[in-house]
Structure 1
Amino acid sequence: MPDWIVHIGVAYIICRLLYTKYTTFNHSNTILVMVGSLIPDIAKLAMITEYLGMDTLDYFMAFHQPLTSLIVAAILCLFFEKRKIVLGLLILGLATHYALDLLLINFGGGIYIFFPLSWQAFHLDLISSDDNYLSLIILLLAFLVFIVEYWSKDAKID
């Protein structure tokens, strides 16, 4: 389930719904939350290096831990003027990513949320990782949110 489409779609839906109440979640900040939702999947770069004949999975998997993802988000926010706001938006993206990953039926033990303080892995075993219907549902919901916002007479313009 939680592939990149789901991570981006959920981040988009949350931000657009929050935008109805808080103007901080404008379109450009929504993109930052969506980028934040993909930071933990830097580990997917190991597929490229594997294709090139290098075994780097153990190195890249460190990026799929909350602490390492937070460090990457902190480094990314240094490239912006409003660092605190950007860091908060990236952290919201990280939170959506890990919340979705917690829902997975996990054969690898789960997510080490409190690493390096604890090696306790967490998972809720609610959704299969190969469930493509959820990806389709999230994509359709994101499209519906986009259409409703676009055609709404009350839509605020950034």
Structure 2
Amino acid sequence: MTDVLTHVIAGYIVGTLLAMRYEWMKPAHVTLVMIGALSPDFVKIQLLVPDGFVASVLGVPFSWSALHTAGGAVLVLCLGTLALAPDERKRALVLFAIGASSHHVLDVLLLTPTGYSYAVFWPLTEYRLPSGGLYLSTDRWPAVVAGLSAALVWAIARRYDDETPVSD
């Protein structure tokens, strides 16, 4: 679970840094980035509803793995924005996409046995980027580094908010 935690914390860091840059961003917007960072891991639904079960119910070959690609992220993010008010959808879609992009960037850095990452850009291409080889998804140190970074960003953001003059 350190992998999931790391993605959520990375979304918090990115969202908080964006909130420091853009005045319109509120805590709810940071949450959208965090949800976007978690969205490619919706593929873990296969732990509850296995591919084989869905394939047997539908009568066609089926796999959840497409959710962990750029194409799957676009689909999930577009469906997720439908739950929001129409005037917030564009902004939310961008924030979701920023979070999902951070997830894919971190996953490309994983150490893999083949030396190549997964097909991130599917369905556009099956090309597999070379793996960054920095860490395993089971390693705990990325979560620790992310947590410490988040604490630092949180402290900086609080100080930044205290120093920012309130306009009437």
Q: TM class by shorter-chain length?
A: 0.7 to 0.9
Q: Which digits, 9 at most, give the CA deviation of each residue in 1:45-88, with x for residues without a partner?
A: 222336xx9588x6221211110110110111112121110110
> Conserved in 2, the CA contact under 8 Å of 1:2 and 1:101?
no
Aligned partner of 1:144 in structure 2 is 152
- Larger C-alpha radius of gyration, 1 or 2? 2
Alpha-carbon shift at residue 17 of structure 1 (Å): 1.6
Alpha-carbon distance in structure 1 between the residues aligned to 2:157 and 2:101: 24
Question: Where does residue 154 of structure 1 map in the other structure?
Answer: 163
Query: Which structure 1 segments of 5+ residues have no match?
Result: none
Q: Provide, for residues 138-157 of structure 1, a one-character-per-residue CA deviation record: whole Å limited to 9, x for no partner.
A: 11221232234335522588
Contact 2:15 2:31 (C-alpha < 8 Å) held by counterparts:
no
Question: Structure 1: which 4+ aligned runs deviate by more than 4 Å?
Answer: 53-56
Which residue type is aligned with residue 37 of structure 1? A
Partner of 2:39: 39
State yes or no: 1:105 paired with 2:111.
Answer: yes
Corresponding residue number in structure 2 for 1:95:
101
What residue is the counterpart of 2:70 in the other structure?
Answer: 66
Paired residue for 2:133? 125
Uncovered stretches (5+) of structure 2, i.e. residues with no partner: 56-61
Partners of 1:15 and 1:34 in 2: CA distance: 7
Distance change in 2, residues 1:156/1:33 (3 Å): farther
Q: Provide the aligned C-alpha RMSD in A.
A: 2.5
After superposing the two structures, state which structure 1 stretch, 82-91 or 58-67, moved more. Answer: 58-67
Distance 1:114 1:48 in 2: 26
Higher mean C-alpha deviation, range 10-19 or range 86-95: 10-19
- Which deviates the most, 106-115 or 133-142? 106-115
Q: Relative to 1, partners in 2 of residues 1:37 and 1:156: Cα closer, same or farther, differing over 3 Å?
A: farther
